[in-house]
């Protein structure tokens, strides 16, 4: 057969997350109340500014000292092994929450961040973004410096109480620009 077939788009990624993906304490990279524990939380919003009630987020991050965890078993939750990975679904109001630590910078001059992957209904592929920890080190970060100034704020978390808040806007909405999403070399859309 010499006929070249046209590629078809991927299947939508949701809303199927309630089956098999969640696991016990998946949103707790560290137990709440542990020394240095903070809450990273926020909303996932659609192009109308409405909450997305059935999205799934995964985070990867460095430890507080900037070390990237290398221990095996990212699902491992024993109360002291930090794997740097977690998963949380949004509730009916579009809110997600992780119990984790503030990551340290992985490289000199880079700002610390959480890498976030978003899965949601209507998306043909997952989305990648970053939630930067607010602070003075942001000015020297290479990725943030490569963005137009008006887009940078969509990647910077805000302080909320003793934790961090990072809302994810899936599309432009009145008064709210779309969160900057990233594309990585080798990842096919």
Query: Using CA atoms, how far apart are residues 27 and 107, in angstroms rounded to an integer?
Result: 26
In a domain, 146, yes or no: yes
In a domain, 89, yes or no: yes
In a domain, 30, yes or no: no
In a domain, 46, yes or no: yes
Write out the two tokens for 164.
């961090």
Segment 145-178, tens digit of pLDDT: 999 999 999 999 999 998 999 999 999 988 899 9
In a domain, 131, yes or no: yes
In total, how many domains does the chain have? 1
Which of 6-10, 144-148, 181-185 is most confident? Answer: 144-148
In a domain, 19, yes or no: no
Find the mean pLDDT for residues 181-186.
Answer: 84
Segment 19-45, tens digit of pLDDT: 556 667 789 998 888 888 999 999 999
- Residue ranges making up the domain that contains 66: 37-169
In a domain, 186, yes or no: no
List, in sequence order, every beta strand (DSSP E) within the chain.
37-45, 56-61, 85-89, 95-101, 113-119, 127-132, 158-160, 163-165, 168-169
Find where tokens 């430890």 sit.
63
pLDDT surpasses 60 at 10: no
CATH of the domain at 122: 2.60.130.10
Q: Considering only CA atoms, which of 39, 2, 23 is closest in space to residue 73? A: 23
Q: How confident is the model at residue 83 (pLDDT cuts 50, 70, 90)?
A: confident
In a domain, 177, yes or no: no
């Amino acid at each position: 057969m010499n006929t070249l077939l046209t590629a078809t788009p991927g299947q939508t990624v949701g809303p199927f997350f309630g089956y098999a993906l969640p696991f016990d304490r998946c949103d707790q990279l560290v137990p709440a109340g542990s020394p240095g524990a903070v809450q990273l939380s926020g909303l996932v919003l659609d192009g109308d500014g409405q909450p997305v009630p059935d999205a799934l987020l995964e985070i990867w991050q460095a430890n507080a000292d900037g070390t990237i965890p290398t221990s095996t078993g990212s699902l491992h939750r024993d109360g002291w092994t930090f794997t740097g990975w977690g998963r949380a679904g949004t509730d009916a109001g579009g809110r997600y929450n992780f119990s984790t630590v503030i990551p340290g910078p992985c490289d000199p001059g880079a700002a610390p961040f959480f890498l976030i992957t978003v899965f949601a209904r209507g998306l043909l592929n997952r989305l990648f973004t970053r939630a930067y920890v607010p602070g003075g080190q942001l000015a020297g970060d290479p990725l943030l410096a490569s963005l137009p100034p008006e887009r940078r704020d969509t990647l910077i978390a805000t302080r909320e109480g003793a934790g961090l808040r990072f809302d994810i806007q899936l599309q432009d909405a009145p008064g709210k620009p779309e969160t900057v999403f990233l594309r990585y070399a080798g990842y096919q859309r």
